[in-house]
A and B are shown apart, each in its own frame.
Chain A
Amino acid sequence: MPDLSTVVDLVHRDVTEGLGQALAPRDDGHGFALAEGFEAVGDAPIADRDGAVAAVPWQWTGVHRGDLLGVPATNEVVTVRGVTLITGEEDNELLHRYIDWAEVLLQLGVRFFDRPVVDVRRRFGDDLLRIPQLQRLVADGVIL
């Protein structure tokens, strides 16, 4: 089971490595902070009864100076909020990162204005495969 005395530092390093290039820490040095909501309920980390899973809610605030989700730098101050679950054994931990990316996109100014794409084969059935152009794609293994 994970070592509860070190998982916060582990997550801190993980988040720094994952976000540090995109979101430069602010000048006050507080790029990483435990989520406020977590602090209200107890000390980090949260662990299940037998200690097999630990959870660290966190947030990272930084200036958007590098590519993030394919969005180039906006120089906006952005806060990323997430929860990382830690499983596995000490020195061999696995991290499961659940991050509110939709909120990040909102802060980056990315707008959603798409329409759902529907596969024409789902709509019209495999009758479509009688079209030579599609038959060739199937024969080449490009579409299944």
Chain B
Amino acid sequence: MPAMPYALEKGPYFSILESYLNDDRDRAHAGLLALRSGAPMSEIGVLDPPIAGSPYGPDALKLHMNRDWFGLAPTVAASGKVLGWEEQAAFDEHQHPTTGFWRHWYGDAEAIFRETLVRALEVSLGVPRPSGSKGGGRGRPEPPTRHWPIVLLWNCPHPWYEGWVSWRRQERSGQVMVQFNTPAHGAPVDAAGGALHNGELFNSPIRPPGTDPSKLAPYEIDPDEATGTNGLWLVSQTYHLEWTPPTSTAPSPAGTWRPPTLGRPVRSVGEVVTVAIAEIDGGVLPDGRTFVPATP
């Protein structure tokens, strides 16, 4: 499943979700109503069509979302077909201390993700909350009055799971910004070996020059201009050099303590570079990705 070598990403899956939310107002409104009514996030249609270039089909992506992101357990028929999803097991500090593939955190990721999208869509569409409801309400739907584009980003790691929604009204339109902050994750390496890395952070935005460009699009160091309709740039120093302080257990005379540090300290070195992040590393294609509904 998608790896995450940086602390922030959009990547192909959020690109598709953005297209689903932004390209068709009626579809966005239908998605809002479905999410409010409790439809599983994996079943509102966004994951139904195959994603070009992805080694994972719709079923694998739904499994990833429900199992790894939300901690849900599949109900499986004798044939192996997934029939539905059950709530995660109750918190147990020994048997079930975490949700999905998040580390050191247990909670209702599905509800947070759902409510964040519901809130973002309500802002985007100018739709008020259903009267008397607090999220997931089933009040009489109000028609959309606008359709501001929604930008999605994912930040990791964070101590717990949360969604942020911000917006800015402009003269004739507006913009909605959504950021999910999640705990650290350990993406299981699948049997096909598709995952390059396993929840690791790379200590430089630089990538090898010999890599097949078709696999790193639109990777570029210090781009001259913003091309296309989408972009995600990272600005940082070239290299984040970790250094190892002396061990705290080295023998020394009395009164010469050397307490340890909390992890290896970092010294960022080199020039400040701007890097257009490859889509496979969490960036976006210049023309984005377009959600095309699956044909029945």
Contacts and interface: CB of A to CB of B under 8 A. Distances in A.
Interface of A: 10-11, 13-14, 17-19, 68-70, 87, 92-99, 101, 105, 110-120, 123-125, 127-128, 130-131, 133-134, 136-137, 142-143
A111 B104 contact: yes
Contacts, number: 132
B206 A114 contact: no
Given A117-B242, A120-B203, A134-B238, A96 B209 contact: no
B201 A115 contact: yes
Nearest to A101: B260
Interface in B105-133: 105
Interface string B197-214: 101111110111110000
B86 interface: no
B104 A134 contact: no
Contacts of A68: 259
A70 to B, nearest CB: 6
B103 A113 contact: yes
B230 interface: no
Contact of A113 (B159, B202, B204): B159
B239 interface: yes
Given A133-B206, A134-B239, 14 more contacts: A13-B254, A68-B259, A99-B248, A105-B262, A116-B201, A117-B242, A120-B206, A123-B202, A130-B210, A133-B270, A133-B271, A137-B238, A142-B270, A143-B239
B253 A120 contact: no
B201 to A, nearest CB: 5
Contact of A115 (B156, B206, B207, B241): B156
A116 B203 contact: no
Q: A interface, by DSSP: helix, strand, loop or mixed? A: mixed
A124 B207 contact: yes
Interface in B225-277: 238-242, 248-255, 257, 259-264, 266, 269-271, 273
A134 B251 contact: no
A71 to B, nearest CB: 8
A97 B248 contact: yes
Contacts of A133: 206, 221, 238, 270-271, 273
A95 B259 CA distance: 13
Interface string B138-174: 0000000000000000001111000000000000000
Contact of A137 (B208, B253, B263, B270): B270
A117 B26 CA distance: 43
Contact of A97 (B158, B210, B257): B257
Given A123-B202, A128-B206, A133-B221, A69 B255 contact: no
